[in-house]
Structure 1
Amino acid sequence: MTTKKRIAIIGAGVAGMAFAILAARQGHFVHVFERRPQVGSELGAGVTLWPNASFVLKQMGLLDDIVKVSGKPKSMVRFDQYSSEQPNEPFREKSRLVIHEINRQAQYETYSILRRDLMEILFDALQKTQARIHFSHPIQAEELAQLKAEYDLVIGADGRMHSAARQNITAALSTELSVDNEAIYQGFINVIGITQSPLTLIDKGVIQDYWGDGERFGIVPINDKTCYWAAGWTSSLKRKSDQPFTQEDLIQRFQHWPKPVTDVLQHAQGASINTIYVHDVNPITSWHNDNVLLIGDAAHAALPTSGQGACQALEDAWTLAQLLLKHDAIDVVLQLFLAKRIDKTTAIQRTGRHIAQTIFHTKPSERAVDGSISQTPSHTIANFWMSGLTSS
């Protein structure tokens, strides 16, 4: 039996809340510090929970709640624009990923869920523990130094863009080598949103992924009347302008795209639409310094094209909690956590960049069919996604 620790968690996103739940259930004294006034869902419209995420949620006892509000996609189809010179040319199916076969190999299902529903389930579970959450409480460098002194373990789950914890780690690393702490803009914009309509707009069993010339539109169904989506295109701009992109802007930009795209945009919930100038971070060689540890996007933010952001956040939480059960010394826990997680997350970061390069910076006529994961054998995908996961 390991001793109970005082644990501070910076950030109440997927990684921070999932670990807070697991650590508090183990009897540790957990405090979560969140800069927003409430648990936020504005960072994304929806999440695909692949089998590795379902594994973690099952171990946490939350999968039944997830299933109630989720969809179960059976396949993901990629359509490429037939001719980039003629925008009215049709899109043709390029490849198909058979999701139910991956599920069978992994022995866990894949679910699609609105981010707000996932965050609500995690928050409800957190409230049933003894953990305390402090809203409207940003942590900067000065406060981080105080947390390091007051707590046995400080978890930096404070995201990819302005992580005080990541800055602390990279500052320590930079005494020996050049380390870049800055999030890196990858040359494209995502405008995300949710569509809910009384009409049947989409096939609830198929994730539809349309690739144009420097443009993309992905549709992920929850059911036949609800989906979340992401519209993307290349842009040299690196930050939001004063005027964000609107539903009308998107309808105009994608007016000649296939009917599922135009239907989804026509019925979109205007308040759900959010513009994101997409960044990731370069892999770094260590995620810990003294008693501070990075998890989730603060440690290994991947592009949304990886499809694994929330899944890897959940894996981080589960792996770290399991190590705390087995090892009392914090330095041992931090070293083992890095050893168990860094190779997998680095590979996912690189995959996200490769797919983004293929979508946004490669002409349609020059794209290989394997520009996405669709042509990878299902057992290879399942084995990789499930690697490193063991039940308690």
Structure 2
Amino acid sequence: MSSSSVGIKVIIVGGGLGGTCLALALAQRGIKSEIYEGKAERQDIGGSLTLAPNCLRVLDQLGLWRDLRKQGTEFEIMNLITNDGFQIGKFHIGSRARYGYPALRIRRYRLHQCLVDAATQSYPELISIQMGKKAARVENHALNPKVHFADGTEVTGDYIVGADGIHSMVRQTICPDSPEPQYTGIVSIGAMISPGQVKAYPMPCIVYGRTGTIGLSPCGAQGEGEEAASWFATLEVEKEETRAGWAEMKSSGQALKLAKERFADWRGPIVDLIEQAHNNPDSTLLWAQYSVPELPRWHSDRVVLIGDAAHAIPPSGGQGAAQAFEDAWLLAEVLAKGLSLSKWEAERRKRLGVINKFTQQSGKSRQVGKASVAAFNVKKWMMWTYFKMSSIGRGDDLYSYDGSKIAL
């Protein structure tokens, strides 16, 4: 640790995955942090996510991998098939031999709980977490920036980090003229299921059809007798709703009605899954996808953004949480060494260039929209040819990244 970082205090606005990961990375380097989360209590927002090798490498460096791997399902290969059973191809999301880690599919609340437990149990003297503290505004002073909360209280730190998600309040301090997050017109929908309901499919897999794609993936914890999996799909929904409106779309079954219409000509177990969810809409998961226009900067003086607050990544690449964790790990390293935030931002922007290219390519193969039979057959055979010619090394730039080897 640099002498300039001794005794500093970092204020973290947002107690989600990225904010808690940052607190752990700072504590590992002896730096104190205080997390302020707007929600009054932690909530299970549902759903599961895939952690690729580059993400697991960060978590391993924080000492979490041994326990975390028991909380989900490890795998290395993602299968690509059509809804009539044709094997398009497969690709490696993880490889113990090549990258040192598999991929891990895990329920979101389990991952978050693992991070919170590590923070509160391993570093109680360095990490504090306060719930129900909604940040209202930030004063960006050159030496001691300050956060004002909706309850009238305030806190001062040496650095303030906005880990407050895609609708970030802290972002307005750094980029006051930045546009609001933009609704993409795409909604993700899904539900938890039992793996036995989709035995016909080689999970994890992405199932392609003329009218869209559906993902299937196990995500059960090991050693608990839990069998769990999830399905997820994307739909076009032209009208943007308020948060209450999205909740109503889910609870009323309207979103599932759209899914039934979209996949009406499919056959087999997937149709049954959608029908089952339609009969129990409260079990459905729904996410409206938003994007953040590219920001001119991610930091100003001693206020900095990480994760979705800085660069929301579409879910098609499976890198959202990973990039928040990479942001956090490298930021902790920069602060511990007393380096400039400009150095951190330059390194992270370079990395995000690689990630965005991969995510765009991945998203194109799963574009939402109906295709003619002829167009779908052309796409199917083009994908088959591509994956036939591709090797495991196609993900090296993505999955081999190790922030500890970055020359700062």
TM range (shorter): 0.7 to 0.9
User: What is the aligned partner in structure 2 of residue 215 from structure 1?
Assistant: 212
Deviation of the 1:74 alpha carbon:
3.2
Matched, 1:379 2:402: no
SS at match of 1:186: strand
Return the letter of the residue paired with 2:86.
R
Number of corresponding residues: 369
User: What is the aligned partner in structure 1 of residue 151 from structure 2?
Assistant: none
Tell me which of 60, 65, 68 is aligned to 1:66: 68
Residues 142, 320 of structure 1: alpha-carbon distance in 2 compared, 3 angstrom cutoff: closer
Matched, 1:276 2:256: no
User: What is the aligned partner in structure 1 of residue 188 from structure 2?
Assistant: 190
Return the letter of the residue paired with 1:138.
K
CA distance in 1, matches of 2:386, 2:282: 31
CA distance in 2, matches of 1:14, 1:301: 14
SS at match of 2:404: coil
Return the letter of the residue paired with 2:270.
V
Residues 243, 108 of structure 1: alpha-carbon distance in 2 compared, 3 angstrom cutoff: closer
Matched, 1:169 2:174: yes
1:242-321 matched pairs, under 5 angstroms: 242-244=248-250, 246=253, 249=257, 252-253=260-261, 254=263, 256-262=265-271, 264-265=273-274, 271-321=282-332
Return the letter of the residue paired with 1:382.
D
Over the matched positions of the two proteins, sequence identity in percent amounts to: 24
User: What is the aligned partner in structure 2 of residue 230 from structure 1?
Assistant: 232
Query: What's the CA shift string for 1:93-128, capped at 9, x where partnerless?
Result: 32211345x442212221111111111111111112
CA distance in 2, matches of 1:373, 1:322: 38
Return the letter of the residue paired with 2:290.
H
Tell me which of 135, 138, 152 is aligned to 2:158: 152
Return the letter of the residue paired with 1:338.
E
CA distance in 2, matches of 1:251, 1:324: 47
SS at match of 1:236: coil
SS at match of 1:387: coil
User: What is the aligned partner in structure 2 of residue 136 from structure 1?
Assistant: 132
Deviation of the 1:182 alpha carbon:
2.0
> Is the 1:355–1:372 contact (alpha carbons within 8 Å) kept by the matching residues of 2?
no
Return the letter of the residue paired with 1:257.
W
Return the letter of the residue paired with 1:356.
G
> Is the 2:185–2:240 contact (alpha carbons within 8 Å) kept by the matching residues of 1?
yes
> Is the 2:89–2:387 contact (alpha carbons within 8 Å) kept by the matching residues of 1?
no
SS at match of 1:18: helix
Return the letter of the residue paired with 2:21.
A
Deviation of the 1:361 alpha carbon:
4.7
Return the letter of the residue paired with 1:106.
Y
CA distance in 2, matches of 1:362, 1:255: 12
SS at match of 1:36: coil
CA distance in 2, matches of 1:279, 1:80: 28
SS at match of 1:319: helix
Deviation of the 1:256 alpha carbon:
4.5
Query: What's the CA shift string for 1:345-367, capped at 9, x where partnerless?
Result: 23323443443344215735363
Tell me which of 89, 96, 104 is aligned to 2:90: 96
Return the letter of the residue paired with 1:134.
Q
CA distance in 2, matches of 1:204, 1:12: 37
CA distance in 1, matches of 2:288, 2:345: 29
1:342-361 matched pairs, under 5 angstroms: 342-358=349-365, 359-361=367-369
Deviation of the 1:380 alpha carbon:
3.3
1:18-37 matched pairs, under 5 angstroms: 18-37=21-40
Deviation of the 1:294 alpha carbon:
0.6
CA distance in 1, matches of 2:386, 2:51: 18
Deviation of the 1:228 alpha carbon:
2.3
TM-score by length of 2: 0.80
SS at match of 1:279: strand
User: What is the aligned partner in structure 2 of residue 87 from structure 1?
Assistant: none
Query: What's the CA shift string for 1:52-89, capped at 9, x where partnerless?
Result: 111111111111111112111232122346xxxxxxxx
CA distance in 1, matches of 2:129, 2:396: 35
Consecutive unaligned residues of structure 1, counting only runs of 5 or more, are 82-89, 175-179
Query: What's the CA shift string for 1:308-363, capped at 9, x where partnerless?
Result: 111111111111122223x225xx1x112112111222332344344334421573
> Is the 1:77–1:95 contact (alpha carbons within 8 Å) kept by the matching residues of 2?
yes
Residues 92, 70 of structure 1: alpha-carbon distance in 2 compared, 3 angstrom cutoff: same
CA distance in 1, matches of 2:387, 2:308: 22
CA distance in 2, matches of 1:152, 1:272: 43
